[in-house]
């Protein structure tokens, strides 16, 4: 079984027909594609639940009550006064990083583009702003229960996490007179008010039925599981490590009168060769940037095709070609797991791969073949480099029978992303195409007399050939057999002549796009 389908089956056994999958994020700044693993893992489990006939919801909790923890590099020093204030209650930055009271909240500012990016990959969750749950009184009962059982919760956190809490620790953080949680000391509790004094010497009371304070993270997480009836929430290995917030959340959730979701931990996405993605280290690729370069189905396949306990190397360089090849092979030649003669291992692989393809589609239930638009990733990369005008790309695809009629919206978007990728720093240099108009000196130095003879003979043969990919490919094979060199050396010779290097895209397609007159002139020179 695919891991998402397996999880859906387990959830049915453990929690019944009603399921709530959840993921969340703190909108403190720019997001990176590593966040997509949690989000897509939860969303794919939700889809698998729906496919299994379960009544499933997918919610996305935005930690908008979380405080601003520091002045990030993209913010001006004016944000110093907002440290400790909930992200929902401070202004968004303008283009210069200064607070802009007319630009909405800080939380909304960073959340909007991220939700747009999620929409591009087919993720449309029920968005829940955590500060609104506090404002509406949704946390009130859990906060009261937490304060009443503060000693028991302290014991849980200290015994499981192995860290000792401060003597003045209190399981609720009220906002002080300046709206910040920093430097606020709790002086008493009389339901529903938490009394406090702050660092400015001011005193006041916070109403637990309003967004006048919040629970600490470990308790907040455990409380929301019960508030929203969450049955499944994948957690990163930092939260899922022994003694982490998931381990403390399980008993706290039960202490507060609810049943927690089962523990489910995912490994991180790493930038190839640079380690785990981290906003603080700057080792990031943003989801908005990634989705402007990579087809959304490939991003989904990156997650769907990997077990949750395996780390993922995200690579927008040469490995992207290999991942696209793998995806296209599975689309073109899906294996029937019920076919005769398959070993157990082959049957398991077929089921897993079919599940990954199903969950990789932007639209649930879509045919994977529709995502390709009739052209391979490598062929489109070649066309996008050779043809500067989109209309020329479509004309070429019609001539080669890759396209009938007008291009679909999906194909137009694929070409747009391909051009973005080619124009970015991420496109691999050895995949860039520059067609030579004449044989370069480097090429002459690397071509043997036999290879030069092969090229001349091929040019003469192509002069009398039908001008199609299939006919050109047949001419290459025929002349190779008649020459004194092997197949590999023949193609090496072609690439040296056409591109000035020893490798390149499919030779027949490349020659077809150059045009008959130009190709013959080059090869016979």
Please give the Cα distance from 216 to 203 (Å, whole number): 21
The two beta strands, 126-129 and 55-62, are parallel
With bands split at pLDDT 50, 70 and 90, how would you rate the model's confidence at 33?
Answer: confident
- State which fold the 3-139+216-266 domain adopts: Rossmann fold (3.40.50)
- Can you give the pLDDT at residue 269? 83
Please give the Cα distance from 186 to 174 (Å, whole number): 8
Average pLDDT over residues 186-191: 97
- Can you give the pLDDT at residue 249? 97
Mean pLDDT score of the chain, rounded to an integer? Answer: 92
- Can you give the pLDDT at residue 8? 97
Percentage of the residues of the chain whose pLDDT score is greater than 70 = 97
The C-alpha angle 479, 485, 487, rounded to 5 degrees, equals 70
pLDDT tens-place string over residues 448-470 = 999 999 999 999 999 998 999 99
* Whether 362 contacts 371, CB under 8 Å: yes
The helix/strand/coil state of 28 is: coil
Q: Which residue has the tokens 């990031």?
A: 284
pLDDT tens-place string over residues 346-378 = 999 999 999 999 999 999 999 998 888 889 999
Average pLDDT over residues 159-164: 95
DSSP state of 67: B
- CATH of 441-523 given 3.20.10.10, 3.10.20.600, 1.10.10.350, 1.25.40.10: 1.10.10.350
With bands split at pLDDT 50, 70 and 90, how would you rate the model's confidence at 178?
Answer: very high
Least confidently predicted of 16-20, 226-230, 237-241, 417-421: 237-241
How crowded is residue 200: how many other Cβ atoms within 10 Å of its Cβ? 12
DSSP state of 26: -
- Report which of 300, 352, 298 is spatially closest to residue 327, judged by C-alpha positions: 298
- Can you give the pLDDT at residue 324? 92
pTM of the model: 0.90
Residue partners of 136: CB distance under 8 A and separation at least 6 = none
Percentage of the residues of the chain whose pLDDT score is greater than 90 = 78
Model confidence at 23: pLDDT above 60: yes
With bands split at pLDDT 50, 70 and 90, how would you rate the model's confidence at 523?
Answer: very high
Helix (H) or strand (E) holding 110: helix 106-120
pLDDT tens-place string over residues 204-253 = 999 999 999 999 999 999 999 999 999 999 998 888 889 999 999 999 99
Q: Name residue 232's beta-bridge partners.
A: 21
Model confidence at 296: pLDDT above 50: yes
Please give the Cα distance from 33 to 46 (Å, whole number): 20
- Can you give the pLDDT at residue 417? 94
**Most confident of the following: 250-259, 278-287, 514-523:** 250-259
With bands split at pLDDT 50, 70 and 90, how would you rate the model's confidence at 315?
Answer: confident
Least confidently predicted of 12-26, 115-129, 426-440, 446-460: 426-440
- Can you give the pLDDT at residue 272? 62
Q: Each residue of 135-151: b (16+ CB within 10 Å) or e?
A: beebbbbbbbbbbebee
End-to-end CA distance of the chain, in Å? Answer: 57
Average pLDDT over residues 291-307: 92
Model confidence at 273: pLDDT above 80: no
* Three-state SS annotation for 441-508: HHHHHHCCHHHHHHHHHHHHHHHCCCCCHHHHHHHHHHHHHHCCCCHHHHHHHHHHHHHCCCCCCCHH
Q: Which residue has the tokens 């202004």?
A: 91
Question: For residue 30, which phi and psi values (nearest 5 degrees)?
Answer: -65, 140
The two beta strands, 185-190 and 193-197, are antiparallel
Q: Positive or negative CA dihedral for 239, 241, 242, 247?
A: positive
With bands split at pLDDT 50, 70 and 90, how would you rate the model's confidence at 270?
Answer: confident
pLDDT tens-place string over residues 469-492 = 999 999 999 999 998 888 899 999
- Report which of 34, 29, 27 is spatially closest to residue 285, judged by C-alpha positions: 34
Domain segments of the chain: what residues? 3-139+216-266, 173-207, 377-428, 441-523
- Can you give the pLDDT at residue 142? 98
With bands split at pLDDT 50, 70 and 90, how would you rate the model's confidence at 34?
Answer: confident
């Amino acid at each position: 079984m695919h891991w998402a389908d397996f999880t859906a089956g387990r959830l049915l056994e453990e929690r019944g027909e009603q399921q709530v999958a959840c993921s969340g994020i703190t909108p403190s700044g720019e997001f990176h594609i590593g966040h997509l693993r949690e989000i897509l893992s939860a969303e794919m489990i939700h889809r698998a639940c729906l496919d299994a006939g379960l009544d499933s919801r997918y919610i996305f909790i935005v930690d908008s009550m979380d405080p601003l923890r520091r002045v990030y590099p993209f913010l001006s020093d004016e944000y110093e006064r907002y440290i400790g204030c909930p992200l929902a209650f401070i202004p968004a930055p303008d283009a210069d990083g200064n607070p802009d009271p007319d630009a909405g909240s800080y939380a909304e500012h960073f959340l909007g583009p991220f939700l747009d990016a999620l929409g591009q990959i087919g993720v449309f969750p029920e968005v829940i702003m955590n500060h609104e749950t506090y404002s509406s009184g949704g946390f009130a009962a859990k906060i009261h229960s937490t304060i009443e059982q503060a000693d028991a919760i302290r014991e849980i956190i200290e015994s499981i996490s192995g860290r000792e809490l401060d003597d003045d620790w209190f399981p609720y953080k009220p906002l002080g007179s300046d709206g910040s949680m920093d430097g606020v000391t709790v002086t008493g509790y009389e339901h529903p008010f938490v009394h406090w004094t702050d660092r400015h010497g001011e005193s006041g009371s916070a109403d637990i039925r309003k967004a006048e304070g919040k629970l600490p993270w470990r308790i907040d997480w455990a409380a929301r599981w019960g508030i929203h009836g969450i049955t499944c929430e994948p957690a990163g290995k930092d939260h899922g490590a022994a003694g982490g917030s998931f381990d403390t959340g399980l008993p706290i959730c039960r202490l507060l009168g609810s049943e927690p979701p089962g523990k489910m931990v995912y490994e991180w996405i790493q930038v190839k060769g640079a380690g785990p993605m981290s906003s603080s280290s700057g080792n990031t690729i943003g989801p908005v940037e990634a989705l402007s370069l990579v087809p959304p189905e490939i991003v989904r396949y990156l997650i769907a095709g990997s077990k949750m306990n395996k780390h993922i190397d995200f690579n927008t360089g040469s490995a992207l070609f290999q991942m696209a090849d793998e995806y296209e092979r599975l689309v073109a030649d899906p294996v029937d797991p019920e076919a005769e003669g398959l070993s157990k291992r082959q049957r398991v692989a077929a089921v897993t791969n079919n599940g990954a393809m199903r969950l990789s589609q932007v639209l649930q239930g879509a045919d994977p073949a529709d995502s390709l638009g009739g052209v391979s990733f490598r062929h489109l990369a070649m066309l996008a480099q050779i043809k500067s005008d989109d209309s020329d790309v479509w004309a070429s695809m019609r001539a080669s029978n890759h396209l009938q009629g007008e291009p679909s919206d999906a194909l137009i978007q694929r070409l747009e992303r391909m051009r973005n990728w080619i124009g970015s720093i991420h496109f691999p240099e050895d995949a860039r195409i520059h067609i030579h108009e004449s044989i370069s000196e480097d090429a002459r130095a690397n071509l043997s007399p036999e290879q030069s003879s092969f090229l001349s003979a091929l040019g003469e043969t192509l002069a009398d050939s039908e001008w199609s990919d299939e006919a050109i490919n047949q001419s290459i094979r025929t002349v190779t057999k008649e020459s004194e060199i092997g197949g590999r050396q023949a193609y090496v010779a072609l690439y040296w002549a056409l591109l000035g290097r020893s490798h390149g895209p499919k030779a027949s397609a490349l020659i077809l796009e150059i045009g008959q007159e130009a190709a013959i002139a080059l090869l016979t020179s």
